[in-house]
Chain A
Amino acid sequence: MRNIFKTTIIAFSFIFSASAFAEIEGTKSSKIEVEVHGMVCAFCATGVKNRFSKFESIKEVNVDLDTMKVNLELKADATLTEDEIKAAIKESGYEYKGAKYE
């Protein structure tokens, strides 16, 4: 009985972590909120916006300077990985601090 319980817990943990990984990869998300450090002016934000606008997978890019966040809306069935987001922020000259997938 104890072994069955243990196995069930491990199986649930695995399934849960697998689905969390899919969210981090962004494959199931249509909206992504990216936190960026250093993006303090409209000039800076224009650079970030232009960089994300080059992605085929992105439908819309909106910048919120008050919260230092970039909101991305993906096209239907499009994907965008965390590594792609990190690279885009770095190429723009700023620092990636995390992303929330909705």
Chain B
Amino acid sequence: MKKLLCSLLIGGFSTMASAHPTSFQGSTGLMGEHSPSLSHNQLNHSWRYWFATGLHYYQRPQEGDDSYAVLGTTNFLLKRWNKSNLQANLYALGGAGYSNFKGVGGEVYFAGAQFDIEDRDYYFLAKHKHMFTTDGSDYQASTLRVGFSPYVEGFDGIHSWLILSVMQTKFWDESPTWEVTPTLRVFYKNLLFEIGQSFSGDTNFNYITHF
């Protein structure tokens, strides 16, 4: 297990918000991650706490309405560590769909992995995802996030986290871009919002809700 975690940590990471790809049995989650370069909305349903299926819609706002991808995914919780004051998770994600990122429609396949660990004060996430396309418009994103909670609240309170997100994205033959984004996360019960402003001036907005 140590080797696996190390390879995840060394191998590169990705993506934006910190959603758990699976949630409690029978729940449905709606999540969105929005930046000037990419908009991503997803709807997941957890059939078991360790297995969910999802529908994803990606769009590149700067490229217009025609630059999009639609995917269906399956999300697996491979391992969860439940401790008295801590939780850690290892997820695998896979899927397939249709991509029109380059204006020429084609099949797209998706693979991803996520590791996260949190207690009530600190939070860490590492994620990588890769879209493989038949027309050469591959997309990959890696994210590392570390955060802390300036105060600890009870179940009914408003929770806040200060998060630093480091993300690398690469759209097919374009040069990889790096973004470092301080982010404020606020959540109340099953509603979570995040807003961040990257050092390059981009504003990111994310949301998650489970019902």
Contacts and interface: CB of A to CB of B under 8 A. Distances in A.
Interface of A: 37-51, 62-66, 68, 91-95, 97
Contact of B27 (A40, A45, A50): A50
Contacts, number: 80
9 contacts: A37-B82, A40-B119, A43-B190, A46-B210, A47-B210, A49-B155, A64-B154, A66-B152, A91-B48
A93 B155 contact: no
A42 B155 contact: yes
A65 B120 CA distance: 9
B75 interface: no
Contact of B118 (A41, A47, A48): A41
Contact of A47 (B27, B50, B154, B192): B27
Nearest to A66: B154
Given A46-B189, A46-B190, A47-B24, A91 B155 contact: no
A40 B49 contact: no
B122 to A, nearest CB: 10
> Which of A46, A49, A63, A64 has most B Cβ within 10 Å?
A46
Contact of B188 (A42, A51, A91): A42
Interface of B: 20, 22-25, 27, 48-50, 77, 80-87, 118-120, 152-155, 157, 159, 187-190, 192, 210
Contacts of A92: 24-25, 49
Contacts of A64: 154-155
B41 to A, nearest CB: 19
Given A42-B189, A50-B24, A91 B49 contact: yes
A95 B88 CA distance: 13
A93 B27 contact: no
A49 B189 CA distance: 11
Given A46-B24, A46-B210, 7 more contacts: A38-B82, A38-B87, A42-B187, A46-B190, A51-B24, A65-B153, A91-B48
Contacts of B27: 47, 50
Contacts of A44: 87
Contacts of A40: 85-87, 118-120
Given A38-B80, A43-B192, A46-B190, A65 B155 contact: yes
Contacts of B188: 42
A41 B189 contact: no
Contacts of A37: 82-84
